[in-house]
Structure 1
């Protein structure tokens, strides 16, 4: 079993927001001039809630790793909601956050797309033997306990040999998580470079030479 140690978020981000009752392009521009960002929360069968966030604060958190899988306690008019970022719109030049979509978290499990980190790929056994580490999946979709959503899935591949594939069935996911798809799939491979011999090829040639 390939070891996996996804970084589980032990702390929930606390943010404050304000309700908004004015909509449209003009209202959004007025909010941004005031240093705020329009946003919306929806899902879980609830009526969507339109809010605004402090621009500098939300941009700061967005620029941190794996913001899109960050659990958030959002306080609106003294009431707290557990939410998850769904989509973020950025300014095309400055990368300042312009709009955020959040989803309510009411169910016990949540479908999440998280990044995959391949730990030790530069020093993997197969790479040392002349192979090339080929990433097939940079993100995977998981079904996770809402209280244990990982920032990422980190996989230790230092012992991965040449001419092999890393398959989903060999991955030990963080507690409370599973792949959404039950069908086995490949996350990464180590393939031989042109002119490089795989271990199996080397053994075969040695055997033939000894005949």
Structure 2
């Protein structure tokens, strides 16, 4: 994953009133913490920050008053209605440092005909280098048949990553398609014919 470069400004005001004014001015309030240092309260440009944090575990290279900070997005608070970003928590990291992250699991491929899959885990916990975080882990189900299972230990992890989840955790379960599901799919076609 490549790091996104953003210019940040240190903020000295706090509270809801300041946060509203900052968002109205196209800024997002944020805080950088970690490594035992005092938290740094900043504002980030809204448009470029929103684009940069679209992916899970985004890595940001911040210029805070001429000082460089490498930070990992740990939490994003969004407005429940408008879905705009209200605040971001950032964890300071160093190049080469290992961090614990939850990586999305994506299922790819087509099952053998007459089978369905149930994805039991949508994210998996890994320890990986902060500057080389994977955006997702892919699980290939191509041609698999009923009764097959894919466990966390079966996942192909990126180089240098360590699985933190239980190795026996079920990720994908493959079973036969039930008749009721097939009948439900046929029912609208029959109704349309009448």
Number of residues of Structure 1 aligned to a counterpart in Structure 2? 179
Is 1:31–2:22 an aligned residue pair? yes
Does the 8 Å CA contact 1:86/1:101 hold for their aligned counterparts?
A: yes
- Cα distance between partner residues in 2 of 1:182 and 1:95: 33
TM-score normalised by L of structure 1:
0.79
SS at match of 1:142: strand
Q: Which runs of 5+ in 2 are unaligned?
A: 181-194
Does the 8 Å CA contact 1:58/1:97 hold for their aligned counterparts?
A: no
1:73 corresponding residue in structure 2: 61
TM-score normalised by L of structure 2:
0.85
Which among 99, 111, 120 is matched to residue 124 of structure 1? 111
2:103 corresponding residue in structure 1: 114
SS at match of 2:146: coil
Query: Which deviations, in whole Å up to 9, do the C-alpha atoms of 1:71-124 show, x marking residues without a partner?
Result: 11111001111101011111222211111111011372000011011111xx22
SS at match of 2:14: coil
Q: Which has the higher contact order (CA 8 A, sep 6+)?
A: 1
SS at match of 2:131: coil
Q: How many angstroms does 1:182 deviate by? A: 4.6
Which among 61, 65, 80 is matched to residue 92 of structure 1? 80
- Cα distance between partner residues in 1 of 2:70 and 2:156: 28
Query: Which deviations, in whole Å up to 9, do the C-alpha atoms of 1:111-156 show, x marking residues without a partner?
Result: 0011011111xx222xx1x121110011111110122100011122
- Cα distance between partner residues in 2 of 1:59 and 1:181: 30
1:175 corresponding residue in structure 2: 159
CA RMSD of aligned residues (A): 1.7
Query: Which deviations, in whole Å up to 9, do the C-alpha atoms of 1:47-83 show, x marking residues without a partner?
Result: 1110001122222333x3x2x3121111100111110
Q: Which runs of 5+ in 1 are unaligned?
A: 1-8, 197-211
- Cα distance between partner residues in 1 of 2:75 and 2:107: 25
Does the 8 Å CA contact 2:118/2:174 hold for their aligned counterparts?
A: yes
Is 1:158–2:153 an aligned residue pair? no
1:206 corresponding residue in structure 2: none
- Cα distance between partner residues in 1 of 2:164 and 2:123: 12
